[in-house]
Amino acid sequence: MKKNLLAIAVGAALASPMMMPGAALADGPKVYGKVNVSLENMNYDPAPASPNNDDEWELQSNASRLGVKGDFDLDVADLKAVYKAEFEISVDDGDKDGQTFSQRNIYGGFQGGFGTLIAGKFDTPTKKAQMDVDQFNDLDGDIKNIAAGENRVSNIIQYSTPKLADLVTLNVAFIPNEDSDDFDNDGENENGLADSTSISLTMEQDAFYAAVSRDTDIEDDLIVDGTGLPVSVLDITRLAAGLNMDVFEVGALYQIAEESEGDGEENSYVVSGAFKIDRVKLKAQYGMVDGDQTDNEGTQYAFGADYKLAKNSKVYAYFNELTYEDGTTGDEEEERTLGVGMEHKF
C-alpha cells in the first residue's frame, strides 16, 4: 500500500501544471530526497554472547529518504494548502523493519498571514528545538543516544506563528492518545483532545539561534533512569543555542527529562563545534546523561571530517564512542564506531 501511495505522490509531483488547471501552483510540488550511506566498523565491549562477535563491518543507510512536498494557492482569504509526504528508504538492503518505505514526516495543512496549521505524523517541536546543535545527526553519534525527546509522533496537530519581529517563532502542538494507552495506570486509557503536548519558542538572528521547549506526557523512554513503568510518558524541558558562522560553528544543549507518573529523572548535556577550511569541515561533539534515581550515566564523544564535493554532495569520515555505566556496580558497556560514507541530496 505504501509503495502505491508513494508512486502516486511522485507521479503527481512530476505531472505538468497544465494537467492540473484547478490548482494554482506556488512552490510545488517538488520531489526531493537524500542518500546517505556509510561503511562502518562496530566494536562492542563487553563482547556479545556467542555466536555474535565483538566487532563487525556494516553498510549503513542513514535515514536516506524520498519525498514530495509543496503548496498551492486557495481561493479563500489568501490561504495556501501545504503538504509533505516523506518516506525513509534503506539504501543498504531495501528493508526498513520489513518495509520498503517507512513513514517519516507526513502532513497536510494551511498557511496564511495567521501562521501555519498542519496535522499528521511529524517531528515534535521539542525534537526540532535541537536546531543545529547535533553535528552527527542520523549517524551513530546522534544525540538521541544521550537525550530523550527525539520523537516523531502520530496524530499530531501543530500551529506555528509567523516569525514575530523577524526573530521569534512559537510552535504549539497537541496529540490525542485516541484511547490507546493508560498514562497514569488508573485502569482507563487516555481519550482527551490534548493528552500530550509539545511547545517550543525558537529564535534566529543572522548566525545566532536559540530555542526553549517543553513536552508534557509525551510517550518516550528515559535513556538511563527509567523505572520500568508499563507505559513511559515524560515531561521534558530543553534549552539549545548556537552560532553558525562562515568559518566555525558552536552549539550547546541542556535538557531535563522526568517520568510524568514515576520517579525517574535525568539531565542531558551536549556541546558541539565545527571549523571549516575551504571544502573541509572538521567537527566534534560531546554528550552526557546522568540519572537521578539510579546514578547510571551515559557519555558519548564523536569527531569527524566532511569533504564537500558540491553544494548537495559530500563524503565524510567519523569516529564515535558511546558508553553506559551502571551506577551501582560500575560495569560499563561501550560501543565504538569508525565509519566512512557519502551523502547526496537532490
pLDDT of residue 314: 98
- Grid coordinates given for 189: 486509557
Q: Are 179 and 161 in contact (CB under 8 A)?
A: no
Cα 315 from Cα 140, distance rounded (Å): 16
Cα 106 from Cα 117, distance rounded (Å): 13
Task: Please list the pLDDT of the chain residue by residue as tens digits (346 residues).
Answer: 444 545 544 554 444 443 444 444 455 699 999 999 999 999 999 888 878 888 999 999 999 999 999 999 999 989 999 999 999 999 998 877 777 789 999 999 999 999 999 999 999 999 999 999 999 999 999 999 999 999 999 999 999 999 999 999 999 999 999 988 888 877 889 889 999 999 999 999 999 999 999 999 999 999 999 998 888 999 999 999 999 999 999 999 999 999 999 999 999 999 999 999 999 999 999 999 999 999 999 999 999 999 999 999 999 999 999 999 999 999 999 999 999 999 999 9
pLDDT of residue 20: 42
Query: Which DSSP symbol is given to 47?
Result: P
pLDDT of residue 218: 97
Residue given cell 553519534 in the structure block: 141
Supply the pTM of this predicted model: 0.89
Number of Cβ atoms within 10 Å of the Cβ of 115: 17
Number of Cβ atoms within 10 Å of the Cβ of 175: 25
Cα 102 from Cα 88, distance rounded (Å): 5
Residue type (1 letter), 254: Y
pLDDT of residue 27: 54
Query: Which DSSP symbol is given to 162?
Result: P
Q: Are 238 and 124 in contact (CB under 8 A)?
A: no
Number of Cβ atoms within 10 Å of the Cβ of 230: 9
SS (H, E, C) 126-170: HHHCCCCCCCCCCCCCCHHHCCCCCCEEEEEEEEECCCECCCEEE
